Amino acid sequence: MGAQSNGANSEPNTVVPFAPALENAASDQIDRAGQTILSILHNAANFAEANYQHALDSAQKLSHQLHAAEARIAELEAEGQTYQERAERAEQWLLRVYSEIEDRFLKRVDRRGTTGGSRFAQSTHDASLADGRTSAYLTIELDVIRCVSSRLSAGQITSRSQNSGTALALG
């Protein structure tokens, strides 16, 4: 029995435990899965940061473009206002020229008793030559009179009162 007890005692010493090896393999698998998940999270965070930076850059670029467009709109509005004021001044001058021509030439012709057509042109021509003006000057005056008269009669120019006098408005 002594030999058996020695043999029996030696057998438990030769037994190799299997449980720790299984435990190490499972923990290696968990570690690898955890590392993979962390790597995926880092990649997603980097991708999200890149998207955020791109969106921020685009927003800043669009903001600068919007400010430039607003500044250009303000310039164009000011320029439009300037042209509007110039057009109104030109209309005032047209009315003044028309009135002056009417006062100087048409009333003079009316005093002579001639009206309309070629008699009007001939009378005005005679009157202008008597004043020492050339026929070219007269032609220009008549063209201005016809132009302003036709616009007035067509309603394309209307007069309106302003603080500085009468102004014309194109219709």
Check residue 146 and give its pLDDT: 76
Domain count of the fold of the chain? 1
Tell me, yes or no, whether 88 lies in a domain.
yes
In a domain, 110, yes or no: yes
Q: Is the pTM of this model over 0.75?
A: no
| Contact of 93 with 70, CB cutoff 8 Å | no
The answer to whether residue 69 sits within a structural domain is yes
Sole residue written with tokens 């709109």: 73
Residue 80's domain spans which residues? 21-170
**How far is residue 130's CA from residue 133's CA, in Å, rounded to a whole number?**
7
Q: Alpha helices, DSSP H only, in the chain? A: 2-14, 19-101, 107-112, 117-130, 135-154
State the Cα–Cα distance between residues 159 and 165, nearest whole angstrom.
10
In a domain, 141, yes or no: yes
Q: Return per-residue pLDDT of the chain as tens, 171 residues.
A: 444 445 445 455 665 555 555 567 778 889 999 999 999 999 999 999 999 999 999 999 999 999 999 999 999 999 999 999 999 999 999 999 988 888 887 776 555 554 444 444 555 555 545 555 566 666 777 777 777 777 776 766 655 544 444 445 444
The answer to whether position 166 is within a domain reads yes
Model pLDDT, residue 151: 73
Residue 117 confidence (pLDDT): 46
**Within-domain flag for 14:** no
The pLDDT of residue 40: 97
pLDDT at residue 112, rounded to an integer: 56
> Would you state the pLDDT for residue 149?
72
Tell me whether residue 3 is in a domain.
no
104 found inside a domain: yes
- What pLDDT, on the 0 to 100 scale, is given for residue 1? 45
Q: By the 8 A CB rule, do 170 and 92 touch?
A: no
Distances (CA, A) of 64 to 7, 57, 59, 78, 158: 91, 11, 9, 21, 45
Nearest-5° Cα angle at 153, 152 to 154: 90
pLDDT recorded at residue 91 = 92
CB–CB of 144/65 below 8 Å? no
